[in-house]
Structure 1
């Protein structure tokens, strides 16, 4: 609707390589993962893909495609391997959007609700998106999602433009309120930042001599340990050690610990994962 209002017949959204935005048809089309898209063709048109963490590629796309109307991006790529972009990446995307009258749309499904040490990850950059999606942690296990918009983006949808069978139901909304109140009242967002810094420091120190470890990165309690080889079998091996992890992008252990992680549990996590990697 935003593109149509500007008289653009076939508007396009700029999306990133190795991204993940969901499994409904449009979000799957926006996703930069061929494996996730297998078997779902034909996908939706209207997405132009560029490398993540590359503002110059975005500028080049702007020069080549006059029909771009928005950027959709994850502040940290979760399924893509916990890819943390350069510090000013989102600021540069905000600047490019302003210059071209595009919308900056952030997918904070994984990064939102305190996961990176701020309520939303974009707050690390001191910017404002035009559209933001949030879910997962918002309900702490109760299914809920929300799409937030401001400015022109907030004026696009009018009553009747969109509907949802279960959207806004009282149970999910009350759960969401309880989660937000708990995050702030118990200082859990600051704790996520503190514990995340400690975990990163510990992993980097204890794994610095392990040649299998390519990179250790993260933001808050969203941590990725990249190995030099596929390591999907570590999920089952970790479970035998009473650790719940997952492997994403084929070779990256993704850790998303709960915000109520105690110091003893954090030590148990580090010790267990380090032993797991060393034995692999």
Structure 2
């Protein structure tokens, strides 16, 4: 058994899969179902989850963007079972993905794994796609039909935006409201502003990709716990744009665990390490 680890800034997601080397095991690995998610500070819960596994894990593969202390805590929990973890480092090329990042190893390992996860689950011929992940930070990454990562944006996630306004001002609250077209009270004004900023950034990248690929719209994949806050506004803006351009409607496709999917692909292929 192998453990997949997505150690993010807010949550720790883990999955377990067979590494028996059979076709069935490979199919399970490609799916990379999530086994559990914890608050990222709750490594005790992660250790308890490991203790309850029916089979002792033989290896672990992970992405960590939560810093060295979090990595050390995870490593300690795994060491109790005689298991070590390999932390992935993004590379210029892997599993059909070519990175145009100026320094490929400095790309967030979660972004790299997530793109691999989406890319390697797409049937041929693969479309160009935009992967929008709404977590602690929002990332918007574009991959061509040839598997080239063109580049992407990073901005504060929806919750971080709302918290920044609440903590950085004297009078603004931590807003909880549904976005509306013309807000007439403060909570709605903040929630609508956050949704508009997130959806606007997504639409910018979608249109940039459409232009780059000679008018061919990219597929849109979305992930992360903040998607529900921006979904309605995103769909509204995309609908307006595709109606104006005459394109087919762009339907966002939700991917639950793209980082785990990418880790599974790396593990099955034997490409985990550089």
Which structure's relative contact order is higher, taking Cα pairs within 8 Å and 6+ residues apart?
2
TM-score range, shorter chain: 0.3 to 0.5
TM-score by length of 2: 0.33
TM-score (norm 1): 0.33
Higher strand fraction (1 or 2): 2
